[in-house]
């Protein structure tokens, strides 16, 4: 019994048109190693829908240099703006680093109360596509800070200060074309996912007996757009088209599904695969599929997992996590110029797991999470900032469960090592072969604080738990 197939044969067959073929875990899914166009399932396509959310981009202005140090400053004085919930600063040259500090104050919608000054993480260039890749060389990529979640706001004040010059040194300059990005995540997605029947949106001839009681009106669930169909179809071996979540399986069910897909011969040497955890799909958290680039891009395997913190702050509730994700997604694509959400997965403080970059949760999707080591790896972002705050145990457990399953599909021991080839970055030159922990922190591949000292200190616990979940 294939316990993870879509319930509808029709949906599965349609999805096969767009679903990259998979191979046994020993070899990893045989997805294309370069960009592969994915055809939309036209049967479930219905007209255009409005794009949820919005972004305001306001240029920063020169301010008087700091009197004490002479450091250059830019910013904005207090001003009224349209509603937003997340902020970040971007600039024209993606290779230019912002050596200095960024601080913002925001006014809460409704109360009119202004927050204190909040710091924005400036070293976001470590989260990016590898040098020389089509995504990095697209011409759309910009320099950017990490985004900061501030909650529903309608006023903003910004100050950016260059590093104070050393004695006798020339004052540092700030990148050109700096602007503040104010992101509104848009409305929450519908709680009713589109089903196969309602997604197709068949027209019912007038006078047809629909079997409903007199006076009842049958309202179909929202139809899927072509972009939503394609993003959902790559998970069609796991759930029906348009599903809001991928349900968890027991370890026995996960192993049975593995054997069913790859044949009993794949079980001759028992694979170490953790139980598949519940994963909220892009449809579930409300990703606007028209924002991203149409095609999906894959690598050959998943040999390592890099753990990150999103550096968006900890002032969010788990109910708000989908809004945080939609905001980060819009910031990555519309503000930073990336092709899609940067991370392959996200985890909130309550331990909920979310599908990140589109392409299929079980597949080797190329992300933009660890500059220099995006190939043959996956990136997991724990929502929050964990430089000084201890990550909740639920989040660490979720990282362990997710890696036990996903790394298990590719035959990797969470306690082991993997050798990756650097694609270029500030820590390792392009072409350098680097031995890394199968579960590594972002800082292991790039000089950065990410995933924060407190979360980094929990990775040993995550490795041990992940291996245990695999049955090792």
Closest CA to 400 of 305, 282, 271, 280: 305
Contact 443, 328 (CB under 8 A): no
Written out in words, the top-level CATH class of the domain with range 54-184 is: mainly beta
C-alpha 195/C-alpha 444 separation (Å) is 43
* Residue 175 DSSP one-character state: P
Q: Provide Rg for the chain, Cα atoms.
A: 23
Q: Between the CA of residue 282 and those of 96, 190, 219, 234, 357, what are the distances in Å?
A: 32, 12, 23, 12, 8
Q: Which residues contact 214 (CB under 8 A, 6 or more apart)?
A: none
Contact 329, 291 (CB under 8 A): yes
Superfamily of structural domain 9-43+228-470: Peptidoglycan recognition protein-like (3.40.80.10)
C-alpha 359/C-alpha 41 separation (Å) is 15
C-alpha 278/C-alpha 402 separation (Å) is 9
**Residue 93, Ramachandran bin (φ over 0: left; ψ between -120 and 50: alpha; else beta):** beta
Structure tokens given for 375: 């190939």
Residue 378 forms beta bridges with which residues?
A: 305
| Predicted pLDDT at 66 | 77
Contact 307, 442 (CB under 8 A): yes
| Predicted pLDDT at 206 | 42
SS3 86: strand
Burial class (CB in 10 A: 0-12, 13-18, 19+), 56: middle
Contact 90, 142 (CB under 8 A): yes
C-alpha 163/C-alpha 172 separation (Å) is 6
Where in the sequence of the chain do the CATH 2.60.120 domains occur?
A: 54-184
| Predicted pLDDT at 210 | 36
C-alpha 284/C-alpha 3 separation (Å) is 21
Contact 420, 377 (CB under 8 A): yes
The pTM of this model reads 0.83
Strands 345-347 and 377-382: parallel
Contact 287, 231 (CB under 8 A): yes
C-alpha 170/C-alpha 244 separation (Å) is 54
| Inter-axis angle of helices 459-470 and 393-409, nearest 10 | 50
Burial 341-356 (b: 16+ CB within 10 A, else e): bbbbbbbbbebbbbbb
pLDDT in tens, the chain (472 residues): 333 333 333 333 333 333 333 433 333 443 433 333 333 333 333 333 444 799 999 999 999 887 777 789 999 999 999 999 999 999 999 989 899 999 999 999 989 999 999 999 987 666 777 778 888 888 889 999 999 999 999 999 999 999 887 766 677 889 999 999 999 999 887 654 333 333 333 333 443 333 333 444 444 456 899 999 999 999 999 999 999 999 999 999 998 888 877 665 555 556 899 999 999 999 999 999 999 999 999 999 999 999 999 999 999 999 999 999 999 999 999 999 999 999 999 999 999 999 999 999 999 999 999 888 999 999 999 999 999 999 999 999 999 999 999 999 999 999 999 999 988 877 788 889 999 999 999 988 887 889 999 999 999 999 999 999 999 9
Q: Between the CA of residue 11 and those of 6, 21, 233, 285, 371, what are the distances in Å?
A: 7, 16, 8, 22, 37
**Residue 139, Ramachandran bin (φ over 0: left; ψ between -120 and 50: alpha; else beta):** left
Closest CA to 288 of 239, 326, 337, 250: 326
Where in the sequence of the chain do the CATH 3.40.80.10 domains occur?
A: 9-43+228-470
Beta strands in 397-448 (DSSP E): 417-421, 433-437, 439-441
The gap from C-alpha 77 to its chain's centroid, in whole angstroms, comes to 32
The gap from C-alpha 367 to its chain's centroid, in whole angstroms, comes to 8
| Unique residue bearing structure tokens 């050959």 | 300
Closest CA to 233 of 392, 38, 460, 445: 38
């Amino acid at each position: 019994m294939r316990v993870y197939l879509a319930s509808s044969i029709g949906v599965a067959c349609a999805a096969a048109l767009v679903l990259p073929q998979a191979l046994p875990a020993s070899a990893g899914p045989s997805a294309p190693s370069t960009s592969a166009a994915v055809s939309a399932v036209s049967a479930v396509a219905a007209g255009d829908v409005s794009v949820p959310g919005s972004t305001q981009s306001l240029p920063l202005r020169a301010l008087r240099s700091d009197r004490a140090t002479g450091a250059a400053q830019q910013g904005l004085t207090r001003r009224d703006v349209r509603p937003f919930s997340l902020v970040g600063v971007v600039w024209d040259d993606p290779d230019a680093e912002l050596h200095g500090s960024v601080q913002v104050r925001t006014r809460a919608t409704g109360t009119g109360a202004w927050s204190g000054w909040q710091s924005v993480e400036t070293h976001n260039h470590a989260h990016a596509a590898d040098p020389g890749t089509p995504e990095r060389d697209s011409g759309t990529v910009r320099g950017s800070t990490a985004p900061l979640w501030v909650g529903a706001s309608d006023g903003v004040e910004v100050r950016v200060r260059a590093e104070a010059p050393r004695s006798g040194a020339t004052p540092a300059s700030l990148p050109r074309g700096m602007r503040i990005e104010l992101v509104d995540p848009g409305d929450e997605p519908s709680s009713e996912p589109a089903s196969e029947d309602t997604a197709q949106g068949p027209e019912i001839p007038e006078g047809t007996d629909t079997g409903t009681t007199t006076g009842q009106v049958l309202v179909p669930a929202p139809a899927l757009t072509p972009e939503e169909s394609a993003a959902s179809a790559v998970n069609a071996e796991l759930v029906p088209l348009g599903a809001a979540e991928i349900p968890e399986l027991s370890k026995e069910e996960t192993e049975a599904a593995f054997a069913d897909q790859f044949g009993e011969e794949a079980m001759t040497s028992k694979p170490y695969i953790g139980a598949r955890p519940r994963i909220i799909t892009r449809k579930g958290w409300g990703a606007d599929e028209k924002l991203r680039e149409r095609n999906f891009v894959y690598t050959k395997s998943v040999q390592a997992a890099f753990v990150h913190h999103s550096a968006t702050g900890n002032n969010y509730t788990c109910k708000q996590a989908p809004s945080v994700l939609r905001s980060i997604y819009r910031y990555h694509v519309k503000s930073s110029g990336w092709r899609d959400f940067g991370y392959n997965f996200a985890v909130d403080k309550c331990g909920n797991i979310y599908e990140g970059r589109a392409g299929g949760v079980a597949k080797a999707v190329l992300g933009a999470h660890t500059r220099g080591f995006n190939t043959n790896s996956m990136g997991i972002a724990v929502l929050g900032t964990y430089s000084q705050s201890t990550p909740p145990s639920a989040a660490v457990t979720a990282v362990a469960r997710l890696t036990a399953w996903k790394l298990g599909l590719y035959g990797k021991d969470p306690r082991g090592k993997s050798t990756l080839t650097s694609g270029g970055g500030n820590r390792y030159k392009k072409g350098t072969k680097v031995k890394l922990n199968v579960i590594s922190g972002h800082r292991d591949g790039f000089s950065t604080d990410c995933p924060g000292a407190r979360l980094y200190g929990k990775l040993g616990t995550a490795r041990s738990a992940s291996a245990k979940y695999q049955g090792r």
